Structure 1
Amino acid sequence: MAIYYIDGEFVPAEKAVIPVDDLAILRGIGVFDLLRTYDGKPYFLDAHIDRLETSALKIGLSLPWSHDDIAGVVNQTLARNDIPEANIRIVVTGGSSTDFMNPSGSPRLLVLVSPVPRLPDHWYTRGVKIISWEVERPIPGAKSIDYISASLALKKAAAEGAIEALYIDRNGLALECTTSNIFAFIADKLVTPGRGILSGVTRKVVLQLAEGLFPIDVRDISRTELLAAEEVFITGTSKGLVPVIQVDEGIIADGRPGQRTLQLMAEMKRHTEKK
């Protein structure tokens, strides 16, 4: 059974609880970040904690823990679990509230671990379908615990044989997916949106790996432009880099993962194997 860190204590997963007056429960106030291990070691832990701190700042949560405090808790939690490769979810809740609206106590820090799930091989060899979903994050750049829109979008995606939903804003621009960033090869350039998004850590790694390999253009992408792209792929912590061969009913190019996408997948594999 997994051991979690819950507000100052390490407890078995089945005994992990927080008070019902926590604003995470009452109002959906809280932030989180998700990372994984490679060879048992947290992948870009500092970058994920940085993003957690930024998310908290954006929604007005003051963290009583230092960066090193949070890193220490993550490593201690991992050490108490025998999981070869783990997903690590760091959660900061809004804390308890006597009036059920405003915080009256300190935020709570939670660290949950679970085995990294094995995703289908065909995602990477044959590519996947995603759908578009017209919605915008209320606070771009904040990884908040409010995932109602994402949950509805993923339910619709699953019903249409897709694995992800791409957020489209009021101007018809492709932003990001529910738990992924979007990339496309357009006119021989690697293009990815740069505003109105939650910038993923895996996204940053891909951009670093792509330097020197392809021209890079961080800019807006319209849904129409995306459908006409030469290649499309998504990136995320738990899924890595996944080729996209279909958006809604539109087939991308010849309906197969593109060579440049496969090249970046190979670069990613070499990169993670060094960790």
Structure 2
Amino acid sequence: MEYIYYLNGKYVAADQACLPINDLGIVRGYGVFDFLRTYNKVPFKLREHVQRLQKSAELIGLDLPWSTLEIEAIAQETFNRNHLPDANIRIIATGGISTDFITFSGEPSLIVIVTPVTEYPEAYYKQGVKVITVQTQRFIPGAKSLNYISAIMALQKAKQVNAIEALYVNEHHVLEGTTTNIFIFRDNKLITPKADILHGITREVVLELARNKFDIVEQPIYYSDLNSCDEAFITATNKEIMPVTQIDDLQISNGKPGKNTQHLMHLFHDYTRFGNWS
């Protein structure tokens, strides 16, 4: 199937979607993006994702000329033109062309890429997954920028030990994953970091679903806290809620998904497939 992308005012075949080589997104990695998926052919939390894209752009000093509604409409139309039952939608904004390869020379570029949803193996959710920790931190934590060098390097380390994600750790705290947020349960309290992270849209949905069901504490997670946690899971658009049963060499929840995590997984599934969230 030939996919249709949006690029700077035009809907074009994927193999015809080309940026100028002097675009700041290419020569300097200067830009931001956001990533969402559809459920039942409806983009999930589209407005929240677009608003986060705009916030990311603001944090790196990138002035976007498009309104929230304009970006939403472009994302929706790009999805519609691909005729997929459900899809991933990636919205990218870069600094645009630059004659000196570092300062602005024109308008920013806007790209929307639509691809099929890729499902993770069912075993990841039934048996849990292994993650590792790495000593690093996201560059400008609140911005979902194109700078993913640390993430790529961290995931290479994870792959070497058959882990599916790497968690960022600074001097003392477990912050977030390369593309995920981290949660732990301890004494029936749901704990997740709040500072120095990218606030995921899935993270916010989980917190809303967990409200009135668990005590929620948004606070730093120390590496030592992992030894005393009862359960752990990661969240992301493409992973939803994924139980974690091993962090480095530490076994979590006796090596199987915990009951509280499973409960949230069921709540999230029902909410995304049958809930009134559009």
Q: Is the structural similarity TM-score above 0.5?
A: yes
Kept in 2, the 8 Å contact 1:86–1:116? The answer is yes
Q: CA deviation at 1:228?
A: 2.3
Kept in 2, the 8 Å contact 1:36–1:88? The answer is yes
Measure the CA separation in 2 of the matches of 1:111 and 1:253: 40
Measure the CA separation in 2 of the matches of 1:228 and 1:16: 50
Any stretches of 5+ residues in structure 2 without a counterpart? Answer: none
Partner of 2:40: 39
Cα-Cα RMSD = 0.7
3-state SS of 2:125 partner:
helix
Q: CA deviation at 1:82?
A: 1.5
Alignment of 1:220-259 (within 5 A): 220-259=220-259
Q: Deviations over 1:212-236 (max 9, x none)?
A: 1100000000111123210000000
3-state SS of 2:176 partner:
strand
Counterpart check, 1:56 vs 2:57:
yes
One-letter amino acid of the counterpart of residue 196, structure 1? D
Counterpart check, 1:18 vs 2:19:
yes
Measure the CA separation in 2 of the matches of 1:100 and 1:115: 34
3-state SS of 1:118 partner:
coil
Moved more, 226-235 or 175-184: 226-235
- TM-score, normalised to structure 2's length? 0.97
Q: CA deviation at 1:187?
A: 2.4
Q: CA deviation at 1:122?
A: 0.4
Measure the CA separation in 2 of the matches of 1:239 and 1:118: 8
Partner of 1:71: 72
One-letter amino acid of the counterpart of residue 135, structure 1? T
Aligned residues: 274
Consecutive aligned runs of 4 or more in structure 1 exceeding 3 Å deviation: none
Partner of 1:90: 91
Measure the CA separation in 1 of the matches of 2:253 and 2:33: 36
Measure the CA separation in 2 of the matches of 1:119 and 1:207: 23
3-state SS of 1:146 partner:
coil
- TM-score, normalised to structure 1's length? 0.98
Kept in 1, the 8 Å contact 2:139–2:147? The answer is no
Partner of 2:127: 126
Measure the CA separation in 2 of the matches of 1:35 and 1:190: 25
